Amino acid sequence: MSDFKVSGDIARLLRAAHEVIAHAYAPYSGFPVGAAILTVSGEVFAGCNVENAAYPLGSCAEAAALGVMVSAGGAQRLRAALVLTAWPAPSWPCGGCRQRLQEFMEAEAMVYAVGREGEPVGMPFARLLPLAFGANDLAPRSS
């Protein structure tokens, strides 16, 4: 990812995540999350978690960010995602959201996790979801 503008792009993602986490609807868990994603064409989209009194119907911030991207007609290949949580230590995306991200992440894409304190910690997406199931698995093939 030689053309990845590390500090500038992470700063943009962080700013977007900070803006959106303010809208998180997390009255049941008390765990607000903001997610921001960066497309290959340089667009940033963000979303927050939205909980529900019927607990399993709540949705994650990453799902919201992806929904915003698709709804906006934005580029659908991602270079990076950042997850901001309101507690001091960072948290990585849940298993379901790793699979949601997998749908759109470039092979070399990065995920950043950041809590209320400290700097974003980066991890190649492939390390978060090795041997991922994806569109290629659905393509007809001989073996």
Shortest distance, position 33 Cβ to ligand THU, whole Å: 4
DSSP assignments along 55-106, one per residue: GGG-B-HHHHHHHHHHHTT----EEEEEEEESSSS--PPPHHHHHHHHTTEE
Which SS3 state, helix, strand or coil, does residue 127 take?
Answer: helix
How far, CA to CA in Å, does 70 sit from each of 8, 67, 133?
Answer: 24, 5, 20
**Residue with Cβ nearer ligand THU (38 or 64):** 64
Question: Which residues are identified as catalytic?
Answer: 62
8-37 binders of ligand THU (CB under 6 A) = 26, 29, 31, 33
Neighbours of 59 (CB within 10 A): 17
Q: Which is nearer to ligand THU, 44 or 101 (CB)?
A: 101
Among 75, 86, 94, 132, binds ligand THU (CB under 6 A): 94
From 69, 83, 15, 62, select the one nearest 40 (Cα to Cα).
69
Q: How far is the CB of 5 from ligand THU (least distance, A)?
A: 25
Out of 20, 36, 65, 93, which residue is the one contacting ligand THU (CB under 6 A)? Answer: 93
Cα(57)–Cα(46) distance, integer angstroms: 20
Positions 72 through 91 that interact with ligand THU (CB under 6 A): none
**Residue 60 touches ligand THU, criterion: CB under 6 A:** yes
- What are the residues binding ligand THU (CB under 6 A)? 26, 29, 31, 33, 49, 51, 58, 60-62, 93-94, 97
